[in-house]
Structure 1
Amino acid sequence: MQVIDDLKALWPLRDFRKLFAVRLVSQCGDGMFQVGLATLFFFSPEKASTAVGVATAFAVLLLPFTIVGPWAGVLLDRWRRRQVLLYGNLTRVVVTSVIALVMVTQGATPLVYVLALVNLSINRFLLAALSASLPRVVDGPLLLTANSLTPTLGTAASVAGGGIGFLLGMVLPTGRVRDASALVLAAAVMACAAALAARIGRDRLGPEARADAAQLRAALGTLARGLVAGARHLVERRTPARALGIMAVHRFLYGVVFIASLLISRNLLSDPLDANAGLATFASVLGASGVGFFAAVILTPVVTPKVGPHTWIVLCLTLAAVSQAVLVAWYSLPVILVAAAALGLAAQGAKIAVDTIVQRDTDDAFRGRAFAIYDVLYNAAFVGAAALAAALLPDTGYSRALFAALAAGYAAGAVVYGAASRRTPARVELERQAV
């Protein structure tokens, strides 16, 4: 199996193993935490059963991430990324524990929502640090392999953590103690991630040049200019800017599909009054997406070396278009599961290629800012998708016209990106590959 062969190739890299362990454990804890939030925000009987309610909840959760992103870029280019992984996870342990305490003593108060936003914002910061750190422990042809494995298996770890949280919720009696128990377990897993990060050398993950306190304050004070410089660098390098642009489009369209799937699971394929049945249906849709993610980790390392990352992105967008075109005619659960698996393959396959392009074609001094901009675009696109879903989706989540538009959007993205990639001079592309 290709994934096993890829792991065997990467396994001799000691620092890769350490960073990989941090990602798996950290994302497992995050999956536990997010399942608790999903139950609270979307699958409580009194919560978010309408398109506007679901879209609003997503906007509230994701808007702070677009604010965190730019600051993350400045810090990741100046702070030791290993320290970010260590202290970021420790901070999440404290925040999650406080949320658990508030849940036991007071219930789901506004403070829970505020602390949840803080926790999720820190997680996005950690994911950016993990991505920016990867080229420090893997280089050459193995970087594509690492990019194929680490995000996808990290997502699998998150799904596994979510499954543990879901099962825990089914076993324990309903009430505040059950909610707090899942959070306490998530905090324990985050503490393990911090301990694993401590095994990595303080300077191993870069960056090469770091700033003292005065320089850091100056950098934060000139944040806008730093981001502009990072964006200018990406544009000058051409391929990373184009890759980020198509990923933003992909994420926007995917966000609309995700919210539609949640509403279809809750209000069309299940009794709207039975929140547990809706959650179970949506879990099956997420499971199908997970199958697509795993398919991406197997196919991407096999196909990309033969056709190149740009062509692979075009193929993924084409597959996404087909997955949505099918839903124009049918919306039964089996059809939706097949479409979810295909879209999961397309989304993860494209993301692996984009990650590789951005990491390969961006100088290390700008890499933290590149992934911060990536993070902003990634989440802002989903917020935009939430706004569109609130305006256009019925509460059942199903609209033939909207799914037709989504299919057309993916197809247009494939055509435009493919044409732009073909216009890139061969000399420029060879220079990028040599970096």
Structure 2
Amino acid sequence: MLRFPGFRRLLLSRFAAQWGDGLFQAGLAGAVLFNPERETDPLAIAAGFAALLLPYSVVGPFAGALLDRWDRRRVLVTANALRGLVIVVAAVCLIAGAPGTVLFTLALVVVGISRFVGSGLSASLPHVVPVRNLVEANAIATTLGAVVAVLGAGCAVGIRALLGEDDTGSGLTTSVALVGSVVAAVVVIGFPRGSLGPDAVDEPAQTLVAVARGLFDGGRVALRTPTVLAGFVALLAHRAVFGVLLLLTVLLMRFEFDAGLAGLGQVAGLFGLGVLVAGMTTARIVAGFGRRRTMGAGMVVGAVALLALGLPTTMGTTMAAAFVVSFVGQVVKLCVDAAVQRDIGDESRGRVFALYDTLFNVAQVVSLSLAALVVAPDGVSPGLIVTAAAVYLVGLGGFAWASRGHH
């Protein structure tokens, strides 16, 4: 795949952007969740993650329409530059001891722009590789991109250990994420204008009307494409499960296991490993068993892993569960990405990817927030783990119904 120069350039831009994302989010998590100068509880943790996950629910419909209307190269350059600017503002506010509401608001902006960039990169991929290589290209881009994001988070943990765990150290750590945005923008500038699409504009002449209709149009296209609809159902279930597990993991690492941000870093490392293994194996698994069977089996494995590894509530089993759930989630995601890129026309692909992120981030935030209302303060909540496993099985039923007749 690296023989394609456009793919190499797009991949490098993705790596830079996602490295910065991982560093920024880990730096902010350390500042809010594991900062001796700040107290936290399950609801505060839920608020923090909502700030990191909800942005695209607000800007998604707008981003989708714009990515299908404006030169994606120009959008990616501008978005990366703007993200870098807001990262600097967030770092300064953190050093100044700004309250959580201010930090969360800035995080909303930074991560919202990041989601915009991610959708733009995904929608541009079919312009730099042949259609027959989309599955492999997508597996490489999304999998290694996720691994690079984990590496960025690891960098945040290391830098914060050197600079301090207080507001000043956390702010300086978070500011380093600026490097990722700058590099991502510079790399994208190397593409010729118009080379990343869209090739055609299937939108109303009035920009505001097109923007307002972005989410609706993406939903309409997804609903009439059975392979994409079925994939959305499966991934929706996984992201709801992941929201619950995210809250439980943070609470367990801070209170039950007393492992702090370093423990959370270990979980992130195993999460990245699961993503990497999925990226290396998904294409072959799908080739052997078909996409429908692969996704269905993945959801069953996820449910079994939660019950077998989540219920014991030990450090070791929690680590193992992180690996399995990340593997399953990435397998499902890669299958859904390929369906969108293969079965959705270029004139609508940006809007569908925008809908994609919007739905799944909302599902994750809602599940995380509901879990915060009932979770035990130390994270030991077997009832929530059983509920999460049941969500996987309900999602499996919905996936089977939506994908009937399509193998």
Match of 2:255 in 1: 267
Alignment deviations for residues 244-299 of structure 1 (CA, whole Å, 9 cap, x no partner): 122112101111111111111111111xxxxxx32122211221211111110111
When structure 1 is superposed on structure 2, of 354-363 and 327-336 the one drifting more is: 327-336
Please say which of residues 190-199 and 307-316 is displaced more in the overlay. 307-316
The alignment-based identity, stated in percent, is 34
Structure-2 change in CA distance of 1:44 and 1:87 (3 Å): same
Contact 1:48 1:54 in 2 (8 A): no
Indicate conservation of the 8 Å contact 2:87/2:175, yes or no. yes
State whether structure 2 residue 64 is matched by structure 1 residue 73: yes
Counterpart selection for 1:200 from 176, 191, 201: 191
Distance in 1 between residues matched to 2:62 and 2:268, nearest whole Å: 31
- Tell me what 2:173 maps to: 182
Rounded to whole Å, the distance in 2 between the matches of 1:336 and 1:179 is: 27
> Who is 1:56 aligned against?
47
Which residue of structure 2 lines up, in the alignment, with residue 330 of structure 1? 312
Deviations 1:404-426 (A, max 9, x none): 222222133224423542433xx
How far is 1:48 from its partner?
Answer: 5.9
Between the aligned partners of 2:159 and 2:206, the Cα distance in structure 1 is 47
Matched-pair contact (CA < 8 Å) for 1:78–1:207: yes
Name the residue aligned to 2:225.
237
Listed one character per residue, the Cα deviations across residues 39-82 of structure 1 (whole Å, up to 9, x for unaligned) are: 12211236464222212322244333211111111111101111
**Cα distance, 1:189 vs structure 2:** 2.6
Whole-angstrom CA distance in 2 between matches of 1:46 and 1:327: 34
CA distance in 1, matches of 2:89, 2:151: 24
Matched letter for residue 192 of structure 1? V
Name the counterpart of 1:117.
108
Q: Does the CA-based 8 Å contact 1:18-1:197 persist in structure 2?
A: yes
Distance 1:146 1:29 in 2: 22
Deviation for aligned residue 1:199: 0.7
Partner of 2:375: 393
Shift of 1:175: 4.6
Please tell me whether the aligned partners of residues 247 and 372 of structure 2 are also in contact (alpha carbons under 8 angstroms).
no
Asked whether the 8 Å contact 1:325–1:407 carries over to 2, the reply is: yes
Change (3 A) 1:406 1:101: closer
C-alpha distance in 1 between matches for 2:285 and 2:45: 37
Counterparts of 2:236 and 2:113, CA distance in 1? 21
Deviates more, 1:37-46 or 1:66-75: 37-46
Secondary structure in structure 2 of the residue aligned to 1:141? helix
1:107 to 97, 101, 107: 97
CA contact (8 A) 2:23 2:174 kept: yes
Structure 2: 5+ residue stretches without partners: none
Contact 1:73 1:372 in 2 (8 A): yes
Give the residue type in structure 1 aligned to 2:303. A
Structure 1 pair 265/93, CA: closer, same or farther in 2 (3 Å)?
same
AA at the equivalent of 1:266: R
345-354 or 158-167, which moves further after superposition?
Answer: 158-167
CA gap of 1:175–1:343, structure 2 versus 1, over 3 A, is: closer
Cα distance in 2 between the residues matched to 1:86 and 1:126: 9
Q: 1:33 is matched with which residue? A: 24
Q: Which moved more, 1:39-48 or 1:136-145?
A: 39-48
- For residue 167 of structure 1, the aligned residue among 150, 158, 165 is 158
TM-score for the superposition, normalised by structure 2: 0.94
**2 CA distance for matches of 1:306 and 1:412?**
25
94-103 or 117-126, which deviates more: 94-103
* CA-CA distance at 1:89 after TM superposition: 0.7
Aligned to 2:384: 402
Asked if the contact 1:85–1:126 (Cα under 8 Å) also holds between the matched residues in 2, the reply is yes
Q: Partners in 2 of 1:57 and 1:194 — Cα distance?
A: 27
Unaligned runs of 5+ in 1: 1-9, 271-276, 430-435
Q: Quote the Cα distance in structure 2 between the aligned partners of 1:196 and 1:410.
A: 39
- What is residue 5 of structure 2 aligned with on the other side? 14
Q: Which residue of structure 1 aligns with residue 352 of structure 2?
A: 370
SS of residue in 1 equivalent to 2:131: coil
Aligned to 1:414: 396
Contact 2:217 2:351 in 1 (8 A): no
- In 1, the alpha carbon distance for the partners of 2:171 and 2:218 equals 41
Q: Render the CA deviation track for 1:198-243: whole Å, top value 9, x for unaligned.
A: 01122111001359996323423xx14x432332222122211221
TM (norm. structure 1) is 0.88
Between stretches 181-190 and 290-299, larger displacement belongs to 181-190
Structure 2 Cα separation of the partners of residues 375 and 33 of structure 1: 19
Q: Residues 324 and 339 of structure 1 are in contact (CA less than 8 Å); yes or no, is this contact kept in structure 2? A: yes
CA deviations on 1:162-216 (whole Å, 9 max, x unpaired) are 1112111111245554334323321123111110010112211100135999632
- CA separation in 2, counterparts of 1:93 and 1:402? 38
Segment drifting more, 390-399 vs 352-361: 390-399
- Cα gap change, 1:179 to 1:213, in 2 (>3 Å): farther
Q: Is the partner of 1:264 in helix, strand or coil?
A: helix
Find 1:158's aligned residue among 131, 149, 152.
149
- Output one character per residue of 1:92-133: Cα deviation in whole Å (capped at 9) or x when no partner: 1211122233344x2334544322221111001111111111
Matches within 5 A, 1:286-297: 286-297=268-279
TM-superposition CA deviations, 1:317-371 (whole Å, max 9, x none): 1111111011454111111111111111001111111111111111111101101
Partner residue of 1:353 out of 335, 354, 369: 335
Separation of aligned partners in 1, 2:169 and 2:32: 16
Asked if 2 retains the 8 angstrom alpha-carbon contact of 1:358 and 1:370, the reply is yes
Q: 1:28 to 1:141 in 2, by over 3 A?
A: same
User: Does 1:306 find its partner at 2:288?
Assistant: yes
Contact 1:42 1:49 in 2 (8 A): yes
- Between the two proteins, the alignment pairs up a number of residues equal to 406
Verify the 8 A CA contact 2:303 2:393 in the aligned structure 1: yes
Q: Distance in 2 between matches of 1:12 and 1:206?
A: 21
1:45 and 1:389 map into 2 onto residues whose CA distance is 25
Distance 1:175 1:258 in 2: 23
Q: Bigger shift: 314-323 or 43-52?
A: 43-52
